[in-house]
Structure 1
Amino acid sequence: MLAVGAAVAVVADWRGADVGAEVLTAEEMASRPALGSVSAAPVTPTPSTSASTSPPSVLRLTGPVPSRGRGDFGYDDRTGPVLGETGTLRRYRVAVEDGSGEDAGEFATAVGKALAGPGSWVDGGLRLQQVGADARHDFTVYLATPATAGRMCAVGGVDIRVGGRPYTSCRAPGKVIINLERWRLSVPHYVSGRVPLSVYRTYVVNHEVGHQLGHRHERCPGKGRPAPVMMQQTLFLNGCVANPWPYRDGRRYAGPPL
């Protein structure tokens, strides 16, 4: 359970998974920047195509999202299991901004689940492990309020603003910075396509960690096909369908370079 906000109502309507019935209102949609084309048919949330009964999922969380925090971070100080079986071991820390209303341990669990797969980067001959705040590490995954995320990304040379306000997440050197607003609200085309929030969260973690691992943006390979994880799915789908995984059926899934 997240520390802020309540889950929206759910209905069973998403390829075997229960999904949230709530969508953005017309007023909410009007307040959002134009973010490109929408696909109404998301892919399954895991590389497997088999249907299963899963716990209810939500499209977005209700309640206010803090626009700014204190600018400092609390760390989840646990050491996690090694994810992946072979390859270079890269260690990461997990931190949540004070004043965000989120719990560092819960965020770390969600990050670890996204990076564990199946379908994550560890399927490609790489190992990842969460370590404590003071341990030797290769990068840190931050959950930051929009204002703080905007500042941190700008220092790293990335402008995350859309319509004049911090909107996306980013990767700066040694820092994977997840925007709290996106973490709680997803994006309009995911919500209108009834893609669960958990799928968006998995996508945004794998996308930004993908940048940390040296991968660049990619394009939609064709209408109706899964979107590559390195496609800017936060901004658009361009005819592709939502996909949170860099590997599908055990193979690296990529699109044309941007």
Structure 2
Amino acid sequence: MPSRTPGLRHVLGMAGMCTLSIAVLATMQLAGSSPESDHQGPAVNRLITVRAAPPSGSEPGGRPVSMGAAGRSSADLPDGPPVPVTGSGTWRVVPGAVRQAYAGHPDTYSVEIEDGVRLVDGDVGFGRFVDGVLHDPRSWIGDGVTALQRIEHGVPDLRIRLTSQNTARALCGYELPFDTSCRIDDAVYLSAARWIRGATSFSGRMDEYRQYMVNHEVGHFLGHEHELCDISGSFAPVMMQQTFSTRNDELADITATNPQQVDVPKDGKVCTPNAWPYPHATR
């Protein structure tokens, strides 16, 4: 397993800036490192702002990104039901604890939801879904080494936080005009906008996309970096930025002005969406 790198902000993809600035959180602590930095700066308190996206289909500076049907990028948030736009910037712990999923020394995690965010399935339903993903042998425990245990009390090694649209944009970055999730230090921030509407690449398969969200961001916590489609027609690596695309050519266009840990070649390779690190493991 790759060694963990503290202090990095890892993202499923990052999204874009314009001129309108809306303050959504006050005095929140963030690591002072850029998304691409290998070094952590000192933690700072700052006012976090979210900037409105430029017109759909342009990057900062007006450069076009890869467009699909009806002039939309594959990385755009799909149409769908309303999403939680704003939250308080504080998180409530979802009650519940689960025994560790492997006999080794476990990393502990808590499941949390930003205050102001409400789900149809409720807090408990969200917690059960996350547990079901992380305790599935197709997830990271499938390597026979990783061990995870959910706790309700005490300080966890990892906080898994469902986060409103604006808070996720402020924390994860909005340098490209797309909603994303990310990992910052000992927390992963799952965009509630994506949780509710998914990603174009998953064609409306919401449970599968949510499984991907959890596995991808927890993968960053465990030390894994972004990957690319390697063999056309095969399962996409769970660490591929599938929120953007499962096509290397599209991913190269989308991330051209904001590299995401890996250089993406335009090699024509297209993978099948995949939510799991070990998709062939026996359940």
Give the TM interval when normalised to the shorter protein: 0.5 to 0.7
Q: Per the alignment, in what secondary structure is the counterpart of residue 221 of structure 1?
A: coil
Q: Per the alignment, in what secondary structure is the counterpart of residue 147 of structure 2?
A: strand
TM-score by length of 2: 0.62
Q: CA RMSD in A?
A: 2.4
Distance 1:35 1:222 in 2: 21
Equivalent residue, structure 1, for 2:75: 35
Equivalent residue, structure 2, for 1:77: 95
Which structure 2 residues correspond to residues 13-162 of structure 1 after superposition, within 5 A?
A: 30=70, 32-35=72-75, 62-83=80-101, 85-102=102-119, 103-124=122-143, 125-132=145-152, 134-153=153-172, 159-162=173-176
Equivalent residue, structure 1, for 2:235: 226
| Identity among equivalent pairs (%) | 34
**Aligned partner of 2:191: which letter?**
N
Q: Per the alignment, in what secondary structure is the counterpart of residue 126 of structure 1?
A: coil
Tell me if 1:175 matches 2:187: yes
**Aligned partner of 2:100: which letter?**
V
Distance 1:235 1:63 in 2: 20
Which structure 2 residues correspond to residues 208-227 of structure 1 after superposition, within 5 A?
A: 208-227=217-236
Change in Cα spacing, 1:61 to 1:138, as seen in structure 2 (3 Å) is farther
Change in Cα spacing, 1:30 to 1:94, as seen in structure 2 (3 Å) is farther
Q: Is contact 2:212–2:276 with CA below 8 Å preserved after alignment?
A: yes
**Aligned partner of 2:198: which letter?**
S
Equivalenced residue count is 189
Distance 1:175 1:160 in 2: 18
Distance 1:175 1:201 in 2: 17
Instruction: Give 1:149 shift.
Output: 1.3
Change in Cα spacing, 1:174 to 1:32, as seen in structure 2 (3 Å) is farther
Distance 1:207 1:247 in 2: 12
TM-score by length of 1: 0.67
Equivalent residue, structure 2, for 1:13: none
Q: Is contact 1:81–1:130 with CA below 8 Å preserved after alignment?
A: yes
Tell me if 1:190 matches 2:202: yes
Instruction: Give 1:32 shift.
Output: 5.0
**Aligned partner of 2:176: which letter?**
V
Equivalent residue, structure 1, for 2:277: 246
Instruction: Give 1:117 shift.
Output: 1.2
Q: Is contact 1:160–1:170 with CA below 8 Å preserved after alignment?
A: no
Equivalent residue, structure 2, for 1:201: 210
Q: Is contact 2:85–2:165 with CA below 8 Å preserved after alignment?
A: yes
**Aligned partner of 1:119: which letter?**
R
Distance 2:174 2:208 in 1: 21
Q: Is contact 2:74–2:200 with CA below 8 Å preserved after alignment?
A: no
**Aligned partner of 1:35: which letter?**
A
Cα-to-partner distance string for 1:59-98 (whole Å, 9 max, x where unaligned): x895311211122222113211212x23330000111112
Q: Is contact 2:138–2:277 with CA below 8 Å preserved after alignment?
A: yes
**Aligned partner of 2:159: which letter?**
T
Q: Is contact 1:140–1:174 with CA below 8 Å preserved after alignment?
A: yes
Q: Per the alignment, in what secondary structure is the counterpart of residue 232 of structure 2?
A: coil
Instruction: Give 1:100 shift.
Output: 1.4
